[in-house]
Amino acid sequence: MRKIVCFIVLILVCAPCGASGQLGLKKATFVPQWVPQAQFAGYYVAQERGFYKKEGIELTIIAGGPNSPPLDLLKEGKADLATLWLATGIQARAQGMNLVNIAQIIQKSALMLVAKKANGITSVQDLDGRKVGLWGPIFQIQPRAFFRMYHLNVKVVPQSYSVDLFLRNGVDAASAMWYNEYHRILNFGMNPEELTTFFFHEHGLNFPEDGIYVMEKTLQRDPELCRAFVKASTEGWRYAFAHPEESLDVVMRNLRKEYIPATRVHQKWMLARMKDLILSEGFSAPMGRLAHEDYDRVARGLQSNGLIEGIPPFHEFYNKCHEE
Amino acid sequence: MKNRGIAFKLTVLMMSSITLILASVWLYNYSFSRRIIIANVEKNARNLALATVNRIDSVLLTVQKVPSNMAHFLESFSYEGGDLLKLIRSMVENNPEIYGATIAFEPYAYSPNSQAFAPYFHKRDDKLEFTYIPYEYFTWDWYQIPKELDRAIWTEPYYDEGAGRIVMTTFSVPFYRVTMGERVFMGVVTADVSLSWLQDIVSSIKVTQTGYGFLLSKNGTFITHPDPDLMMNETIFTVAEARGDHDMRNLGREMIHGGAGFTPFRSLLTEKGCWMVYLPVSSSGWSLGVLFPQDELMEDIFQLNRIVLFLSLAGFMLILVVIVLISRSITRPLRALSNATEHVAKGNLGIVLPSVKTKDEVGRLADSFQKMVSSLRQYIKDLTETTAAKERIESELKIAHDIQMGILHKTFPPFPDRSDFDIYATLEPAREVGGDLYDFFFMDPDHLCFTIGDVSGKGMPAALFMAVTKTLLKTKAVRSLTPDMVLTQVNRDLCLDNPSSMFVTLFLGILDVRTGEVEYCNGGHNPPYLLRWEADAKPLESTGGVALGVLESAVYHSNKMILREGDSLFLYTDGVTEAMNSEEAFFTEKRLVVELGFLKGEGIRDIVCKVKEKIRSFSEGAPQADDITIMALRYFGYMRNS
């Protein structure tokens, strides 16, 4: 037993120098914050099409998910690059973790509330006094601000990743990601016209979500790696949007590899929504920019919910690696 | 079609009618048997689906009772930790349908020391295993939904990673404790059911070769389906979306809302058209669909239809052959006759007609045709002979005409050296030869005899009689005889031998060219007109004689009158006044007198010609009915010489 452990350690130690020496490629590891669904199609497509290699990176993608928390992997150095929600990133930075946003990929918040018209909810005011399902703290900043904004007194019910509680009227409104739960609700037989939707970005609560993060020391050590990763990733995204079917093949293959049940139509919907969220400014807009006002909005949201105390300076948090 | 032969028309019309009949019979047979089969399929399908649903329901209902009783027990009696474990253990042990069970408490509800408390027993390889549920279960559906809904529920089927590690569905019953009059939620009692037995039940549904059953969960997920990719992964709505099949989506909605029905549906395995019966599983809110492949159920009908179709085709071919043969037998002689007729039409009457042995309409037609050809041949033979005879007669008549015209004066002026009078005459027979006559000749150097006549009847007899009369006149009118004497003698000779009782009207005058005295006798003829400068045309006084050849003893008298210089006599036959136009009106003497009034100043040749012209224009091309003869005589005396 001990021999085997030694052997593994030996391999782990020797592997990086061996591989990188061969092709002159830099080795890097990337972890997206969740399972390899279409939410991360751009990175998997870039990997599949060799965009990272072209930029001089030999990239390993660790499948994300509940067992691979990206913050931990970054901190422990098991991953060089990760995607995180902007709010998560700011929170981690504010709590002393030296990570840096090198590209804000998603520009528009996909978080939303969904309710059934059949339960008498057709406007914001109809939510007053209702049971609303909310996910964990990071996901609660926008809805709570929303409730304050409209003076809604709601009963918050903790929500899991299942939408059954909502479908069976255990809650009157449920949290949903536009690219995921909303479509799953549709695919459990609800028709769009039977639903009332509240998009937070339509209520002045646009919290941009997925961005690319590295530890500050990684950036200092190899800024070129960060720049190259962002470049290849944005190229991957653009390719994915231009070739949705090919990208879906890649996504489905990676999901199957992880034994994650998946349906192609759902991934197709997700990819289309990612296009809406990432290219919210249009196809020609530069990808990966983090707007200062977006940063402030999210940071203040965190602060007012007591999730952070001080707001980290923007220039420390964000290091622009993308092209203009 | 119009130009096609009878055989073709007959065949086409008969065969289309027969095709129509056969097709209608075939269609009716098909639709009728199809209806029967569908009715049977629907009945069987409903029975099969109902039996399956009842099997599922009976298991689920049995399972439901156990946690319900347990919840009731927990609400009614006090318990301790050890009791709970025993109770849960016996739940799982004593109920073969139950795979696992737990009693899960609200945070700190079981004990202030433990946040979560959920002891779990479940079966594994025929042994009982125990664990505390290792994850925070408060937001899991099996815990949260009954809590929020305040009633027992069946969860959506799920893969339990933490404890059961199988695909299962959980019946979850909330239980409460009443403290200080308030009902407080304490937790849930659950019973897990492995879905493998469910899959066994549903997959045991076998309909013909490719029919199958499938089970949808409350939100449309395929709990069981022969396609493993769909199971616990796709919903009927994702499949509908992938196929762009809106009907399937609507059907899915109806199914998960507890609908029941019988509807066409496409197999998701084979893409074959199927009928699907669907029924709700009432205990859990699921929906069972059973598919019946149409083509496989219809196999017998298709087989029958193929045979019927084959028989119909064979019958069709047989009838076709028969019809073709019959129509051939009818049209063959007709075609032969038609060919023969073409030859006959071209004049070949000698052709031998095809013989038709049958005694039907065609046979009779052939016989009649044969007779017609013979008659035609005979007729043409007769016609040829008749025509030859007619031609001979016509040529004889032509000769007779020439002869008749030859015996009339035709050269005018007849006496070019005479200037004391002028005479002009014309005769136009209605046929080749006519019965009119005129003549003039000097009886002696001073006396000019002129005559005009009209034989009764027309044609050859009249012409012959005319010739006789003219000859007689020429011979009788000799020097020093008066007109009445000439006519008396001619009459007598004509009457002597006149078996056909013909007669002739005759006017005869003798002009003394020295004095202009005219002695004349009229035997029943139209009186000639005297044309004078100063007066209207006036008929000569009658002499009262009858037509010649009628009465042998007839007596004639002469009259005398004087022609002054420039006076003219206009003689004519009744062909002039009785000339008819197309409305059968006569030219009449009145009109003649008027015309003569206009013409009296002209030369006699012009008078004659213009009167003739008038008659021609009057009759407007109507055929000439009678011979027209006109003679005019003008006396000049010595006027011209001086």
Q: Which of B144, B238, B253 is opposite residue A265, by nearest beta carbon?
A: B238
Q: Is residue A78 part of a domain?
A: yes
pLDDT at B134: 84
One domain, residues A100 and A121 = no
Coil/strand/helix, residue B431:
coil
- Burial (CB count <10 Å: 0-12, 13-18, 19+), residue B382: exposed
Give residue-wise pLDDT tens across range B578-636: 888 888 888 888 888 888 888 888 888 899 999 888 888 888 878 888 889 999 999 98
Q: Is A263 in Cβ contact with B139 (below 8 Å)?
A: no
In DSSP notation, B246-309 reads HHHHHHHHHHHTT--EEEEEE-TTT--EEEEEEEEETTTTEEEEEEEEHHHHTHHHHHHHHHHH
CA distance B526 to B436: 13
In DSSP notation, B115-169 reads S-B-EEEEEETTEEEEEE--S-GGGSHHHHHHHHHTS-EEPPPEE-TTTT-SEEE
Instruction: Give the range of the structural domain holding residue A77, as residue numbers without chain letter.
Output: 26-108+208-317
Give the domains, in start order, of chain B with CATH numbers.
198-297 (3.30.450.20), 407-635 (3.60.40.10)
Q: Which amino acid is residue A314, in one-letter code?
A: F
Give residue-wise pLDDT tens across range A35-47: 999 999 999 999 9
* Among A163, A183, A203, residue at a domain's last position: A203
Q: How many inter-chain contacts (A to B, CB under 8 Å) are there? A: 70
- Burial (CB count <10 Å: 0-12, 13-18, 19+), residue A272: middle
Q: Is residue A8 part of a domain?
A: no
CA distance A262 to chain B (A): 6
Judged by a CB distance cut-off of 8 A, whether residue A131 touches chain B is yes
Residue B13: Cβ within 10 Å count: 12
Q: Is A165 in Cβ contact with B148 (below 8 Å)?
A: yes
Give residue-wise pLDDT tens across range A4-32: 444 444 444 444 444 444 457 889 999 99
Question: What's phi and psi for B176, nearest 5 deg?
Answer: -130, 165
One domain, residues A42 and A185 = no
CA distance A168 to A178: 20
- Burial (CB count <10 Å: 0-12, 13-18, 19+), residue A289: middle
Judged by a CB distance cut-off of 8 A, whether residue B252 touches chain A is yes
Coil/strand/helix, residue B550:
coil
One domain, residues A148 and A287 = no
Judged by a CB distance cut-off of 8 A, whether residue A35 touches chain B is no
Q: The whole model's pTM is what?
A: 0.65
Average pLDDT over residues B470-489: 86
One domain, residues A102 and A234 = yes
Average pLDDT over residues A232-253: 94
Residues of A in contact with B170 (CB under 8 A): none
One domain, residues A78 and A213 = yes
pLDDT surpassing 70 at residue A2: no
The mean of the pLDDT values for chain A is 89
* Among A203, A233, A266, residue at a domain's last position: A203
One domain, residues A170 and A78 = no
Tell me which chain A residue has its CA closest to the CA of residue B244: A265
One domain, residues A215 and A190 = no
Q: What percent of chain A has pLDDT above 90?
A: 77
Tell me which chain B residue has its CA closest to the CA of residue A266: B238
Short-list B324, B335, B284, B310, CA closest to B59 = B284
* Among A151, A172, A203, residue at a domain's last position: A203
One domain, residues A99 and A131 = no
Q: How confident is the model at residue B1 (pLDDT cuts 50, 70, 90)?
A: low
pLDDT at B472: 87
Q: Is residue A324 part of a domain?
A: no
Q: Is residue A88 part of a domain?
A: yes
Structural domain count of chain A: 2
Q: Which of A159, A164, A187 is opposite residue B237, by nearest beta carbon?
A: A187
pLDDT at B553: 86
One domain, residues A73 and A148 = no
Residue A82 bridge partners (DSSP): A31, A213
Among A185-194, B376-385, B578-587, name the most confident range.
Answer: A185-194
Give residue-wise pLDDT tens across range B35-62: 888 888 888 888 989 999 999 999 999 9
Q: Is A188 in Cβ contact with B220 (below 8 Å)?
A: yes
Residue recorded with tokens 């474990």: B85
CATH of the domain at A156: 3.40.190.10
Tell me which chain A residue has its CA closest to the CA of residue B140: A160
CA B237 to centroid of chain Cα atoms: 56
How many CA atoms are closer than 13 Å to the CA of B246, on its beta-carbon side?
1
One domain, residues A167 and A33 = no
Judged by a CB distance cut-off of 8 A, whether residue A168 touches chain B is yes
pLDDT at B162: 67
Residue B83 token pair? 């009791």
Q: Is residue A15 part of a domain?
A: no
Judged by a CB distance cut-off of 8 A, whether residue B157 touches chain A is no
Q: Is residue A13 part of a domain?
A: no
Tell me which chain B residue has its CA closest to the CA of residue A162: B141
Average pLDDT over residues B281-285: 91
Answer whether B425's CB lies under 8 Å from B415's CB: no
ipTM for the whole complex: 0.86
One domain, residues A102 and A214 = yes
Q: Is residue A21 part of a domain?
A: no
One domain, residues A48 and A94 = yes
Q: Is B234 in Cβ contact with A159 (below 8 Å)?
A: no
Judged by a CB distance cut-off of 8 A, whether residue B278 touches chain A is no
Vertex B381, ends B376 and B386: CA angle to 5°? Answer: 120
What would the 3-class secondary structure string for B585-641 be? CECCHHHHHHHHHHHCCCCHHHHHHHHHHHHHHHHCCCCCCCCEEEEEEEECCCCCC
> Please, which residues 231-290 of chain A have a Cβ atom closer than 8 Å to chain B?
261-266
Q: Is residue A52 part of a domain?
A: yes
pLDDT surpassing 60 at residue A67: yes
Residue A72 token pair? 């931990």
